[in-house]
């Protein structure tokens, strides 16, 4: 296997392992360890984000932002989907997906979603694996799976309704499609908050969402040209990089392999004890200096008082 593809495979395996969220004891190369210990040994960190979504902040030299490394050009849609998309005319289509972890929802909420989608002139591709809602409109088609990247890259796509996962957010930015965010858990709230702050999306609360809330958000994003303008600006930033995110990730993986690690980029904070990390030893030393200064000041004042004031009193007596 070529080194480049070995690097990509290693990156994907590390990503899946970290995303599992396991913090208990595991076995690495047959030796028991913990997730925290394993993370401390990391030579390089890949963050699935970039400055099109993030706000400026200082970072360490062993951190690389590789948001959108999975993005790629759109491929032609299957014939049935292409016909449905073309039937939308000038209104275009809406892509609705809450990710692979949410295949369905309660019947009440599904009816609320279907009712909102039925009231827009666009045709809707809805990824949904539950029972067909009673309020499903003729403009909406349900699919158990959709080629999300290809749909977002289709010229007729007007808006993407998403839960705010990193993959969907970056595919939407990559193709310049404004969003309606319905975050539900984990980093999704943060992702949607960022994209809303950038002016490229509207947000709806999943737990309190009504049919009117979703409908108003869709109309706002579809009919207000500022959302499309802002997401195209983010897309320009995303594409205007000296290296593609995947190539940058591959370079740094191979860099670590070539140099048998990247210790010269790794911060020494991991080698500090907990009291050193929080500067408790420094704080303790400063408090001791302050206490010593106060003690000496009081002693000096008492000495002066005893030497001069009492001496004068004794003379008077």
Residue 11 has pLDDT above 60, yes or no: no
**Residue in this structure with the two tokens 């809805």, named with its chain if needed:** 126
Look at residue 255 and tell me whether its pLDDT is greater than 90. yes
What's the mean pLDDT in 172-192?
A: 94
Q: Residues 12-54: pLDDT tens digits? A: 444 444 444 444 555 555 677 777 777 778 888 999 999 999 9
Judge whether 235 lies within some domain. yes
Residues 87 and 190 in one domain: yes
What would the mean pLDDT of 145-158 be, rounded to a whole number? 96
Q: Same domain for 221 and 299? A: no
pLDDT of residue 72: 94
- pLDDT (0 to 100) of residue 317: 60
Residues 119 and 213 reside in one and the same domain: yes
Residues 10 and 41 in one domain: yes
Domain that holds residue 196: 79-239
CATH number of the domain encompassing residue 138: 3.40.50.2000
Same domain, 43 and 123: no
Q: What is the SS3 assignment for 198-239?
A: CCCEEECCCCCCCHHHHHHHHHHHHHCHHHHHHHHHHHHHHH
| Number of folded domains that form the chain | 3
Q: What are phi and psi of 65, to 5 degrees?
A: -90, 120
Residue 158 scores a pLDDT above 50: yes
Rounded CA separation 57/51 (Å): 10
pLDDT of residue 290: 96
Same domain, 101 and 194: yes
Statement to judge: residues 91 and 207 lie in one domain: yes
179 and 125 within one domain: yes
Report the distance separating Cα 88 and Cα 86, nearest Å. 5
């Amino acid at each position: 296997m070529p080194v480049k593809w070995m690097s990509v495979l290693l990156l994907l395996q590390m990503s899946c392992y970290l995303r599992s969220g396991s913090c208990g004891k595991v076995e690495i190369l047959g030796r028991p360890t913990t997730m925290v210990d394993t993370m401390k040994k990391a030579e390089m960190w890949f963050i699935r984000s970039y400055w099109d979504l993030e706000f400026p902040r200082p970072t360490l030299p062993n951190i690389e932002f590789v948001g959108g490394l999975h993005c790629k050009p759109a491929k032609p849609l299957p014939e049935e989907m292409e016909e449905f998309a073309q039937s939308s005319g000038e209104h275009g289509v809406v892509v609705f997906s809450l990710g692979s972890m949410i295949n369905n929802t309660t019947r009440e909420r599904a009816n609320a979603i279907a009712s909102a989608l039925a009231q827009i002139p666009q045709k809707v591709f809805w990824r949904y694996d539950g029972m067909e809602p009673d309020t499903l409109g003729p403009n909406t088609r349900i699919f158990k799976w959709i080629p999300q990247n290809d749909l977002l890259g289709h010229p007729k796509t007007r808006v993407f309704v998403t839960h705010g996962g990193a993959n969907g957010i970056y595919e939407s930015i990559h193709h310049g499609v404004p969003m309606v965010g319905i975050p539900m858990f984990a980093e999704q709230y943060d992702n949607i908050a960022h994209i809303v702050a950038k002016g490229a999306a509207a947000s709806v609360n999943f737990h309190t969402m009504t049919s009117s809330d979703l409908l108003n958000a869709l109309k706002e994003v579809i009919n207000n040209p500022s959302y499309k303008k802002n997401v195209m600006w983010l897309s320009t930033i995303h594409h205007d990089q000296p290296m593609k995110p995947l190539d940058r990730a591959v370079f740094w993986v191979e860099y670590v392999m070539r140099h048998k690690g990247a210790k010269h980029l790794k911060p020494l904070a991991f080698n500090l004890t907990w009291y050193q990390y929080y500067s408790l030893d420094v704080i303790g030393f400063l408090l001791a200096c302050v206490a010593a200064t106060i003690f000496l000041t009081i002693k000096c004042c008492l000495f002066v008082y005893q030497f001069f004031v009492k001496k004068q009193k004794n003379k008077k007596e």
